[in-house]
């Protein structure tokens, strides 16, 4: 998420995840229109995944 701050007075307006946003500052009435420039933070699908192994032997007796 991105912190949206007023370009004029620097007041924190919102924390949001967006591609485009227009938000009006309640303090100085400046209309801020922003575009998100952050790259997506999601890991690619081929990321390392912890695999649980070695639990094939169940200690429960079926009988």
Sign of the CA dihedral with 10 first, then 15, 16, and 22 last: negative
- Shortest distance, position 1 Cβ to Zn ion, whole Å: 20
Length reported for the chain = 63
- Shortest Å, Cβ 16 to Zn ion: 16
Nearer to Zn ion, 11 or 21 (CB): 11
- Of the candidates 55, 60, 52, 8, the one whose C-alpha atom is nearest the C-alpha of residue 34 is 8
Binding residues for Zn ion, rule: CB under 5 A, are: 6, 8-9, 11, 25, 27-28, 30
The minimum distance between CB 37 and Zn ion, in angstroms, equals 20
């Amino acid at each position: 998420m991105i912190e949206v701050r007023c370009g004029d007075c620097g007041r924190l307006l919102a924390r949001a995840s967006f591609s485009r946003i227009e938000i009006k500052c309640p303090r100085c009435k400046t209309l801020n229109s922003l575009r998100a420039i952050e790259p997506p933070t999601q890991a690619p699908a081929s990321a390392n995944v912890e695999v649980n192994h070695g639990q094939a032997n169940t200690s429960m007796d079926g009988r």
